[in-house]
Amino acid sequence: MSKKPTLYLLDASSYIHRAFHAIRNLTTSDGVPTGAVYGFVQMLLKVLDEAQPSHLAVVYDAKGPTFRHKLYEPYKANRPPLDPALKSQMPLVRQVVTALNLPAVEMEGYEADDLMATLARQATEQGFQVVLVTGDKDMSQLVNDRVSMWDTMKEARLGPAEVREKMGVDPELVVDLQALTGDSTDNIPGVPGVGPKKAKTLLEQYGDLDSVLAAAPEMKKSKLKENLLAHAEDARISRTLARLADDAPLSFSPELFAMAPPDPEVITPVLAQLEFTSLMKQFAPQPAASEGDYRLVVEPKELEAEIAKARKKGKVSIDTETTSIDPMLAQLVGFSLCSQKGQAIYVPVGHQLPDGEKQMDREKALDLLRPLCADPLVAKVGQNLKYDHIVLSRAGAPLAGIAFDTMVASYLLNPGKTSHGLAAIAAEFLGRSVIPYEEAVGGKNQSFAFAELDKATPYAAEDADVAWQAAKVLGPRIEEAGLEPLFLDLEMPLVPLLARLEMNGVKLDVDALGELSKELGGQLVELEASCYKLAGHEFNLNSPSQLATVLFEELGLPQVKKTKKKTGYSTDVTVLTILAAQHPLPAEILNYRTLSKIKGTYVDTLPALVHPDTGRVHTSFNQAVTATGRLSSSDPNLQNIPVRTELGLRIRECFITEPGMVMLSADYSQIELRVLAHLSRDPLLLEDLSQGLDVHTQTAARLFDVMPGLVTKEMRARAKTVNFGVLYGMSAFRLAREQGISNQEAQEIISKYLGRYAGIAAFQQTNLASARDKGYVTTLLGRRRFLPAINSSNRVAREGAERIALNTPIQGTAADLIKLAMLKVADMMAAEFPEALMILQVHDELVFEVPEKQAEAFTERVRQEMEGVYQLAVELKVDIGQGANWAEAH
């Protein structure tokens, strides 16, 4: 017996609304809301994946009134206007559905429910089963042995039995039930005083609505009888309004609703426009084998020919395959070269191959490759070239002429994007997918050394080819956005410099860290005992739920806020900080957490990260992560070691130098305030900085109306908080919380500050106006940061964007200047102090390891280069210290 064909009818409006409320604040980089679109598409793909439907239709509500409005004017009159953020996404949903090549239905004068009812009737008459993909209870009236409902968001499937259980009546009586109860959402009147329970009882007793109304005159005197008699016509109108019209003027024709696969060339650009990176990868077309001429090269003469081709071109895309994502530990397995679109080679040198299978001798391949790598006249293109440069440098073939990194270019174009990986770049800018790593090696955690050559070759060669092609697309985009100077003069030269910093590494006193670990272990035991004593019993200090029980139930402390999942009350750092003023236990928990985190993150972890060959720790500097343009550090993160605490200093004491060297720290002094003074041209701030006065003392004097000499330590601390708070768009609420003052007092302080520093207030307003107009802000050097929520109707999202708008030109400019300083100082070091090493960059600080005899001369030259790196309205100042370790130097 053949299985009946099935038609799936998707209620677009229902799911778009639900997705909108489920996914808020998702937007493209230029501020277009996309949460509803994303949620809807995910639901759609779930249906396509799980059901594999042969026939389907996406059904929309049409604009304008329907026949129900003509019948009953107040119909849906209570509904508020559509949220502008939702309204703007309706056309985008239609665009995606069209691009997915899905049948869609919409008809003026009819709601989606009516069209679904009509199609369901006609399809079942033609022998189809029908599945209504919706969560709308109104649709349950259509359910029968051939029509079912599927609510994908609740994983609920409803047939007649499930409708009866959920609604309390059979599907054919759902309309009568709604006629009695009414529906406030749609403004369907019903009968006053009749709720679902009472309506169910009446229908069970009398059969249907007509029978209930016919029996009303004979009922015992009651309010129910009065309402049934007085509102009988309302009930009948309600039934008509609630009943879905299955006679809309459209025809179900199986061939019109048959599924067809989407065209990747059509859907991929649409998803790229919406910035749905993960979905782009899913739909992006994989080029046919004929499109990519990817060759395995194991003969030296073939490699020589490819290198000659690259030299003639003057440009080559290069990519390495290795045994590790850590370039300082990675062993070279192979490399790929590309100097023409669609043509690339892969040269294996370190695969674990079966007997008889050939690869090129590693040293012979490197001997041939080395002159090409070293030639600055052959421009090098690639994805994350810092990694390849380190790997090849360790193999004796460092890259000169690093010209175009596709990861860095993607980052500059939109620093707020979640991914700048090659797969995301290929999908967005080339409209294609790339071979997944797992496919090439046979497993996610498998080393590339074990990849079979017939699979390794297309994967590795494709990487070089895609980077080559992406650079051709990204280059003009960088130029059009006015980012070329920033890209060519700052970010690209930084790639080899950051590689050098990573390879230099920093020496650790492992024994001192071991002693510190023992000491901290003892302190943690003492803190545990103190916490147990304060709580009155032992409990798991690392369990938020157990801690919540102790704080809120046993000690009766106030519950400040719920957890993100709303399943209980939060015990995060902000909550504990507030509660610490009321009880000693939260303060001890904070101490315990801080100590435990630092011990685990640094003291115990750093010794294990010492490189077996260099004896030093090699952090990774990430150039394409932070939205502000700052560098970040990882594996290990050396930028988050506490600066002003005793424990932070103890850890920094363990960063030491080689014998005969000293550590030198050069730190920009108040660089963000100096940038603010330049951007705002505020006369008071300019005067304070140019005269070398203490900015925070001067600010305190103006805020508290006292002479600078009478400013107390507390006044200065509060002024300092305000000075830096202004940089970050601090609210009065936050200032009040941090300073332990009332919101009114905090607001008065901020208002007085902006009144005195009128230039800063004017800069803020001009900057915000520009951000609202353009949708982004820029740094002095032209770096952009997009602000998707700057004009949002959501107050929290909008205010967050406004804070970013105020801060980014300042913090981003400071980040640009420290990068510029790194390049200037590196050039000076290469020419004058070749034995000195730049080893760390931490926010506004550069750290060096310098021969002791050169320290004095080096200090002066670093100061000159860093202070002269850019001409601001006030001079840049650098604080420089030196010592045997990082703590002494800083």
Per residue, the 3-state secondary structure of 589-611, as one string, reads HHHHHHHHHHHHHHHCCHHHHCC
Mean pLDDT over residues 814-839, rounded? 97
pLDDT score at 403: 97
pLDDT score at 342: 94
Residues pairing with 849 in the sheet: 663, 837
What pLDDT digit, counting tens, does each position of 321-361 carry? 999 999 999 999 999 999 999 999 999 999 999 988 999 99
Strand, coil or helix: 556: coil
pLDDT score at 286: 64
pLDDT score at 694: 93
Residue 546: which pLDDT band, with cuts at 50, 70 and 90? Answer: very high
Mean pLDDT over residues 586-606, rounded? 93
Strand, coil or helix: 393: helix
What pLDDT digit, counting tens, does each position of 684-701 carry? 999 999 999 999 999 999
pLDDT score at 475: 97
Structure letter (DSSP) for residue 660 = T
Point out the least confidently predicted range of 27-31, 107-111, 666-670, 799-803. Answer: 27-31
Look at the alpha carbons of 419, 421, 424, 428 in this order and tell me if their dihedral is positive or negative.
positive
Residue 729: which pLDDT band, with cuts at 50, 70 and 90? Answer: confident
For every residue of 424-459, DSSP letters joined together read HHIIIIIS-----HHHHHTSTT--GGGS-HHHHHHH
Among all chains, which residue has been given the structure tokens 């508020």?
80
What pLDDT digit, counting tens, does each position of 192-226 carry? 777 778 878 888 878 787 787 787 777 887 787 77
CB 402 within 8 A of CB 425: no
142, 524, 578, 642, 652 from 532: Cα distances, Å: 62, 12, 20, 27, 32
Mean pLDDT over residues 425-440, rounded? 87
| β 147-151/315-322 pair status | unpaired
Mean pLDDT over residues 288-311, rounded? 87
Single-letter amino acid, residue 348 = P
Point out the least confidently predicted range of 571-575, 579-583, 797-801, 805-809. Answer: 797-801
Q: Look up residue 75 and give its two tokens.
A: 């119909």
* pTM reported for the whole predicted model: 0.78
Q: Look up residue 47 and give its two tokens.
A: 């249906």
Give helix 90-99 / helix 264-274 axis angle, nearest 10°. Answer: 150
What residues have CB less than 8 Å from 453, skipping those under 6 apart?
A: 296, 348, 351, 353, 357, 359
Nearest by Cα to 504 from 883, 846, 889, 820: 846
Phi, psi of 455 (to 5 degrees): -95, -35
Single-letter amino acid, residue 553 = E
Q: Is the pLDDT of residue 240 over 50?
A: yes
CA–CA separation, 345 and 419 (whole Å) = 27
Between 882 and 80, whose confidence is greater?
882
CA–CA separation, 866 and 669 (whole Å) = 11
Task: Give percent above pLDDT 90 in the chain.
Answer: 56
Identify how many contiguous H helices and E strands the chain contains and give both numbers.
38, 23
Beta strands, E only, 353-436: 379-382, 402-405
CA–CA separation, 356 and 379 (whole Å) = 37
CA–CA separation, 604 and 561 (whole Å) = 33
Point out the least confidently predicted range of 165-169, 392-396, 715-719. Answer: 165-169
Among all chains, which residue has been given the structure tokens 């290929």?
426
| β 147-151/156-158 pair status | antiparallel
CB 422 within 8 A of CB 466: yes
Q: Is the pLDDT of residue 314 over 90?
A: yes
Q: Is the pLDDT of residue 741 over 60?
A: yes
Q: Give a three-class secondary structure readout of 220-278.
A: CCCHHHHHHHHCHHHHHHHHHHHCCCCCCCCCCCHHHHECCCCCHHHHHHHHHHHCCHH
The angle formed by the CA atoms of residues 266, 269 and 271, to the nearest 5 degrees, is 105
pLDDT score at 322: 96
Residue 89: which pLDDT band, with cuts at 50, 70 and 90? Answer: confident
The winner for highest mean pLDDT among 133-137, 372-376, 719-723 is: 372-376
Task: Give percent above pLDDT 70 in the chain.
Answer: 95
Q: Is the pLDDT of residue 71 over 90?
A: no
Look at the alpha carbons of 25, 28, 33, 38 in this order and tell me if their dihedral is positive or negative.
negative
Can you list the alpha helix ranges (DSSP code H) found in 33-83? Answer: 35-51, 67-71
pLDDT score at 777: 94
Residue 792: which pLDDT band, with cuts at 50, 70 and 90? Answer: confident
Between 644 and 534, whose confidence is greater?
534
CA–CA separation, 105 and 57 (whole Å) = 7
Mean pLDDT over residues 359-379, rounded? 97
Look at the alpha carbons of 668, 674, 675, 678 in this order and tell me if their dihedral is positive or negative.
negative
Mean pLDDT over residues 11-16, rounded? 87
What residues have CB less than 8 Å from 452, skipping those under 6 apart?
A: 442
Nearest by Cα to 655 from 850, 887, 841: 887
Residues pairing with 379 in the sheet: 315
Mean pLDDT over residues 465-494, rounded? 96
pLDDT score at 289: 46
Q: Is the pLDDT of residue 175 over 50?
A: yes
Strand, coil or helix: 743: helix
Residue 424: which pLDDT band, with cuts at 50, 70 and 90? Answer: confident
pLDDT score at 1: 35
Nearest by Cα to 422 from 488, 474, 372: 474
CA–CA separation, 424 and 414 (whole Å) = 13
Dihedral angle over CA of 77, 78, 80, 86, nearest 10? -70
Q: Is the pLDDT of residue 428 over 60?
A: yes
Q: Is the pLDDT of residue 811 over 60?
A: yes
* Mean confidence (pLDDT) of the chain: 89
CA–CA separation, 527 and 74 (whole Å) = 67
Domains and CATH numbers, the chain: 6-257 (3.40.50.1010), 269-505 (3.30.420.10), 814-889 (3.30.70.370)
CA–CA separation, 759 and 689 (whole Å) = 15
pLDDT score at 564: 64
Among all chains, which residue has been given the structure tokens 């050396």?
638
Cβ atoms within 10 A of the Cβ of 713, count? 8
Between 737 and 695, whose confidence is greater?
695
Residues pairing with 104 in the sheet: 58
CA–CA separation, 68 and 183 (whole Å) = 14
Residue 417: which pLDDT band, with cuts at 50, 70 and 90? Answer: confident
| β 620-622/632-634 pair status | antiparallel
The burial class, CB within 10 Å (0-12 / 13-18 / 19+), for 476 is exposed
CA–CA separation, 117 and 583 (whole Å) = 63
Residue 34: which pLDDT band, with cuts at 50, 70 and 90? Answer: confident
pLDDT score at 290: 42
Look at the alpha carbons of 49, 50, 53, 56 in this order and tell me if their dihedral is positive or negative.
negative
Residue 29: which pLDDT band, with cuts at 50, 70 and 90? Answer: low
The burial class, CB within 10 Å (0-12 / 13-18 / 19+), for 282 is middle
Q: Is the pLDDT of residue 2 over 60?
A: no
